[in-house]
Amino acid sequence: EGETTPMEDMLVPISKEQFMESKDSAHDTIDFFALKYSLPIMIYDAGKLHEPVRISLGEKENILLFSDENGIFGDFKNSVNHYPVSNETKNMLQIIFFPPSIEKSSAVNLLSSLTKMFEQIHGGTHTVHWLT
């Protein structure tokens, strides 16, 4: 069998009609967005990051790795998260992956919608940085 994506991993308990346990409001909101829009979304406590943040392809496994000055803090499979979001988190880094087939204007509109909904629930403001 091949590797699964974070989205496929989220769908396994749902397909078995198993209840997804609530983690906290931020995780629950992100899980909702990820499922509703079929987008892999990773979240990290930005207050613990040491810039610059880098995205690179892993040498051993062919997956994207997220790193800062201290090394790898996360990956596309969501199997590593050294800076997890908690109830004490004040600043959050969201990494959202759009499929190559989506037009940038559609991605911009969807991202705008996601961030507005997240801010309505949790408050705060956001800054967007695009990597293509």
- Residue 23's DSSP bridge partners are none
* Percent of the chain's residues with pLDDT above 70: 87
Sign of CA dihedral 114, 23, 46, 74: negative
Mean pLDDT over residues 42-60, rounded? 93
Domain residue spans of the chain = 6-122
As a whole number of angstroms, the distance between CA 112 and CA 114 comes to 6
pLDDT band at residue 10, thresholds of 50, 70 and 90?
Answer: low
Q: Flag whether pLDDT at 36 surpasses 70.
A: yes
Mean pLDDT over residues 96-105, rounded? 92
Place of tokens 């629930």: 121
Residue 7's closest CA among 34, 32, 44, 33? 34
Place of tokens 């919608």: 113
Helix, strand or coil for residue 38? coil
**Confidence at residue 50, expressed as pLDDT on a 0 to 100 scale:** 96
pLDDT tens digits, one per residue of 64-90:
999 999 999 999 888 889 999 988 899
* Percent of the chain's residues with pLDDT above 90: 41
**Confidence at residue 25, expressed as pLDDT on a 0 to 100 scale:** 83
CATH 3.30.70.2860 is held by the domain 6-122 = no
**Confidence at residue 5, expressed as pLDDT on a 0 to 100 scale:** 66
The residue type at 20: M
